[in-house]
Amino acid sequence: MKPLRIAIIGYGKIARDQHVPAIQANARFALAATVSSKPEPHPGIPSFGTHREMLAAMHDLDAVAICTPPSVRYDIGRDCLLAGKHVLLEKPPAATLGEVEELARVAAARDATLFTTWHAQHAAAVADAARLLAGQKIAAMKIAWREDVRKWHPGQQWIWEPGGFGVFDPGINALSIASHIVPGALFVRDAELLYPENRQTPIAARLNLASPIASGAIEVAFDWRHQAGEMWRIDIRTADGLELRLSEGGAKLTLDGDPVDASGSGEYQSIYNHFVDLIDERRSHVDIEPLRLAAEAFLLGRRTIVEPFVDRVQDV
Amino acid sequence: MKPLRIAIIGYGKIARDQHVPAIQANARFALAATVSSKPEPHPGIPSFGTHREMLAAMHDLDAVAICTPPSVRYDIGRDCLLAGKHVLLEKPPAATLGEVEELARVAAARDATLFTTWHAQHAAAVADAARLLAGQKIAAMKIAWREDVRKWHPGQQWIWEPGGFGVFDPGINALSIASHIVPGALFVRDAELLYPENRQTPIAARLNLASPIASGAIEVAFDWRHQAGEMWRIDIRTADGLELRLSEGGAKLTLDGDPVDASGSGEYQSIYNHFVDLIDERRSHVDIEPLRLAAEAFLLGRRTIVEPFVDRVQDV
């Protein structure tokens, strides 16, 4: 079978670290081009300065993976869908819910596949947790997502700009897992957002989520100020007394303290396998729930101002 | 035909000024009870301290109109739907998009009617504007919603608390008209939110909206700091050169400068007529678009701190 010719648009850290290896390891894809402001970012593959130049020059392209910052994904995704390309979107899929819904309409009208990936949903043990929780009610649930922003976002200024999500950039991964594994609706009840006084997005957040299938609040803590003690963990106790712990961002699972063998193949391998299935079946997979929860936190959140954040790379 | 017995839950300014007269003027309804923290707020009608007391005491109730602040509407609405009552929600229908979606699921499961009212959509000339714009493309559009917060929200502290919407409380009326009359998707491109330094919600906001059927930005200005020059106006120029002006919050319309006779019956009369139709046809009417646009503005908005707001009634 002829491989699907795919281009990567936005050739930054996530593209290099995750998308290129996953595409190269998948026999159904051939990496055909990149779009980047840097000249020839990937050796031996045609490179273009803009997605429009690429669409004009390459008529045999089947699909694109959009890995730019979220604010420009809608315009790029729309152009690519209108050109008949299948579109994979890094998370979060766009700047707003409305943009994602409009992309879904365009994809449907063009019979193209749109895939809003949430890579954390594809972590190795997440599907196992979802299976264990199916049909259960939740007695208690805590989400703790703590990391060092300087380590994971070195010099990335867009995360601090309006629409850059701040600590919700990693936190939305936790929300994407939660909305995937909790077998009922989730919504934000209240939130506190901690903004450094020199920044436009929060460096930490505490949320209380509610669900019709949870008897109490679901407590969420995102914090970007942890150089030691990084943690990406979800603890759940069901009404039947099962104790689940998803750790390492969904890669590991324990049930009542005992390790559960993870059935998944890992985030980006799973994402590209699913993209192939969607394209073969001419379907889209559009999930706006994590973005909805983030938007609700910003809509409802109490703003608290905390000490300025100084990025060692850019600001000193 | 036996009238529908309806209770008003949350007996504040909007209930007294709008809901009671509209219910009393509609032969299909009978005002059967109120829920309020005040004793006997409406003479001659049973009054209850909580909606649960009312549901327990009154088994012949058909419907409720929920006019509380938005933060408690979900819990009340859910209880009423689960008790089999038809539910009308003042705007905004709940605190979050997820709450509205969950209420819609409960209503569907109980075969009850849920009606998320946006009263400005029922202003006399809004349907006329929608008819004139059907199938049109938009060349330019400006929304200006300017009023004096002290006049319209005397002593209402909840509007300044997290989740209280601030200037989006009136502004969402404009968004509800815009999403109703623009014949295409709308979403927020960027926003600036002006927060008084002593408040948790914005006193003014500037938004740029985008739409696939608009060639340029749709400029939105909300401002609560206008004692003189109050204005609730939407100006639209179509690609075909039609000039529409909706003013007085949708009550008046001009086309190319000439007045158009408004076909509507006025906001709350129209709302209760539509509620009867929905109940008769066992349908729901759930519109989350205005709330989505507000949430997007909070998600994306640049925060600017402005001078403190001192409410004459409460703070001095």
- pLDDT tens digits, one per residue of B3-15: 999 999 999 889 9
Q: Residue B275 domain-assigned?
A: no
Query: Which residue in the list B91, B137, B142, B252 is annotated as catalytic?
Result: B91
C-beta atoms of B162 and A302 within 8 A:
yes
Which of B158, B209, B296 is the best residue to mutate to test the A interface, defined by the most A CB atoms within 10 Å of its own CB?
B296
A213 in Cβ contact with A240 (< 8 Å): no
Of B101, B200, B295, the CB nearest to A295: B295
Phi-psi region of A135 (alpha: psi -120 to 50; beta: other; left: phi over 0): left
Average pLDDT, integer, range B162-181: 97
Q: Residue B237 domain-assigned?
A: yes
Same domain? For A32 and A144 the reply is no
Please report the pLDDT score of residue B313 as a whole number: 54
The residues on B that touch A, with CB distances below 8 Å, are: 78, 95-99, 101-102, 105, 162-163, 185-191, 195, 200, 212, 292-296, 298-303
CATH of the domain at A238: 3.30.360.10
Q: Three-state SS for A77?
A: helix
What's the alpha-carbon Rg for chain B, to the nearest Å?
20
Same domain? For A177 and A93 the reply is no
| Residue in chain B nearest A184 by alpha carbon | B102
Which of A296, A304, A305 is the best residue to mutate to test the B interface, defined by the most B CB atoms within 10 Å of its own CB?
A296
Q: Write the single-letter amino acid at B165.
A: F
**Tens-digit pLDDT profile for residues A280-315:** 999 999 999 999 999 999 999 999 999 999 987 554
Q: Which residues from B are below 8 Å from A188, CB to CB? A: 96, 98
Of B95, B189, B302, the CB nearest to A200: B302
> pLDDT band for position B315 (50/70/90)?
very low
C-beta atoms of B97 and A185 within 8 A:
no
C-beta atoms of B295 and A293 within 8 A:
no
Average pLDDT, integer, range A53-66: 97
C-beta atoms of B96 and A296 within 8 A:
yes
Same domain? For A104 and A179 the reply is no
* Gap between the Cα atoms of B239 and A282, Å rounded: 35
- Tokens 């997005």 correspond to A201
Please report the pLDDT score of residue B316 as a whole number: 40
Please report the pLDDT score of residue A216 as a whole number: 83
Assess whether the previous peptide bond of A92 is cis (omega < 30° from 0): yes
* Gap between the Cα atoms of B299 and B123, Å rounded: 29
Q: Residue B190 domain-assigned?
A: yes
Q: Which residues from A are below 8 Å from B218, CB to CB? A: none
Is-catalytic flag, B91?
yes
**Tens-digit pLDDT profile for residues B123-133:** 999 999 999 99
Of B101, B187, B300, the CB nearest to A162: B300
Average pLDDT, integer, range B62-79: 96
Of A101, A191, A294, the CB nearest to B299: A294
Q: How far is B22 from chain A (nearest CA, A)?
A: 31
**Tens-digit pLDDT profile for residues B235-259:** 999 999 999 999 999 999 999 999 9
**Residue scoring higher pLDDT (B37 or B194):** B194
Q: How far is B75 from chain A (nearest CA, A)?
A: 10
> pLDDT band for position B39 (50/70/90)?
confident
Q: Residue B143 domain-assigned?
A: yes
Q: Three-state SS for B15?
A: helix
Q: How far is B109 from chain A (nearest CA, A)?
A: 14
| Residue in chain A nearest B193 by alpha carbon | A162
* Gap between the Cα atoms of A305 and B305, Å rounded: 12
**Tens-digit pLDDT profile for residues A150-198:** 999 888 888 999 999 999 999 999 999 999 999 999 999 999 999 999 9
What's the alpha-carbon Rg for chain A, to the nearest Å?
20
CATH of the domain at A37: 3.40.50.720
Structure tokens at B138: 């938009």
**CA nearest to B76, candidates B105, B101, B58, B53:** B53
Same domain? For A41 and A127 the reply is no
The residues on A that touch B, with CB distances below 8 Å, are: 78, 95-99, 101-102, 105, 162-163, 185-191, 195, 200, 212, 292-296, 298-303
Same domain? For A94 and A16 the reply is yes
Which of A82, A116, A150 is the last residue in one of the domains? A116
Cα angle B197, B202, B207 (rounded to 5 degrees) comes to 130
Q: How far is CA B8 from CA A304, B36, B92, B118, B173, in A?
A: 36, 9, 16, 17, 21
Please report the pLDDT score of residue A315 as a whole number: 47
Same domain? For A228 and A80 the reply is no
Same domain? For A10 and A95 the reply is yes
Q: Is the pTM of this model over 0.90?
A: yes
Please report the pLDDT score of residue A40 as a whole number: 72
**Tens-digit pLDDT profile for residues B262-287:** 999 889 999 999 999 999 999 999 99
> pLDDT band for position A24 (50/70/90)?
very high
Q: Which domain holds residue A183?
A: 123-261+295-306
Please report the pLDDT score of residue A235 as a whole number: 98
Q: How far is B52 from chain A (nearest CA, A)?
A: 18
Cα dihedral B250→B252→B255→B261 (10° resolution):
120
Q: How far is CA B42 from CA A220, B35, B37, in A?
A: 43, 10, 12
A301 in Cβ contact with A205 (< 8 Å): yes
Which of A91, A116, A141 is the last residue in one of the domains? A116
* Sheet architecture: strand order including B114-116: B47-48, B29-35, B4-9, B63-66, B86-89, B114-116
Q: What percent of chain A has pLDDT over 90?
A: 91
Which of B116, B135, B161 is the last residue in one of the domains? B116
Domain count, chain A: 2
Q: Which residues from B are below 8 Å from A99, CB to CB? A: 187
* Gap between the Cα atoms of B303 and B192, Å rounded: 6
**Tens-digit pLDDT profile for residues B13-31:** 899 999 999 999 999 999 9
Same domain? For A142 and A50 the reply is no
Same domain? For A76 and A141 the reply is no
Average pLDDT, integer, range B288-303: 98
Q: Residue B316 domain-assigned?
A: no
Please report the pLDDT score of residue B36 as a whole number: 93
Same domain? For A81 and A128 the reply is no
Please report the pLDDT score of residue B235 as a whole number: 98
Assess whether the previous peptide bond of B170 is cis (omega < 30° from 0): no
**CA nearest to A47, candidates A15, A76, A9:** A9
* Gap between the Cα atoms of A73 and A77, Å rounded: 6
Same domain? For B136 and B54 the reply is no
Q: Residue B196 domain-assigned?
A: yes
Q: Residue A276 domain-assigned?
A: no
Beta bridge partners of B232: B145
B147 in Cβ contact with B170 (< 8 Å): yes
Report phi then psi at A244, rounded to 5.
-110, 140
Q: Residue A271 domain-assigned?
A: no
**CA nearest to A272, candidates A11, A14, A20, A2:** A20
Same domain? For A149 and A253 the reply is yes
